[in-house]
Amino acid sequence: MMFKWLTKKSSLNTIIGFRRELVQRYGQSSVFTPEQVLAICDQHKVPQKYLFFAIALYCSEDDYIAFAKDKPNSPDYDEIRNKVIADIMKRAEPVVTNKVEPKSSAHNPQSNESAASSYGLGAD
């Protein structure tokens, strides 16, 4: 199965971590060129079969299609991106809040005499 490698947290984290390196090397951008992404993949010795994921995550759809065009069994661009996003969401730690139950906002009115006596006031 093409997505079997996603069960290995280190493989996914390695490719996701490329964003920081891409920005450091090439500046802030919503997409990068395949050459830029492949340079980082080469530096990290990413196996050939995983290059589809890096290109799909960091390049435009047109760049991905051009990259995958001549490669047999290349997965669909949207399929890869949806699978990776779903996998990231499964790995996300649930947000835990210290939920504090609100105190009752009901007001228990006291009579004037009762209030006065509770504060040590009243008729002498």
Please state the pTM of the whole predicted model: 0.63
d(CA 65, CA 56): 9
d(CA 35, CA 95): 38
Q: Which residue has the tokens 């971590």?
A: 17
CB–CB of 52/41 below 8 Å? no
Q: Could you report the per-residue pLDDT of 66-83, keeping only the tens digit for each?
A: 999 988 888 889 988 888
d(CA 100, CA 38): 50
Counting as low any pLDDT under 70, the low residues of the chain are 1-12, 91-110, 114-124
Neighbours of 14 (CB within 10 A): 16
Q: HSE (CB half, 13 Å, CA atoms) of 16?
A: 14
pLDDT of residue 39: 96
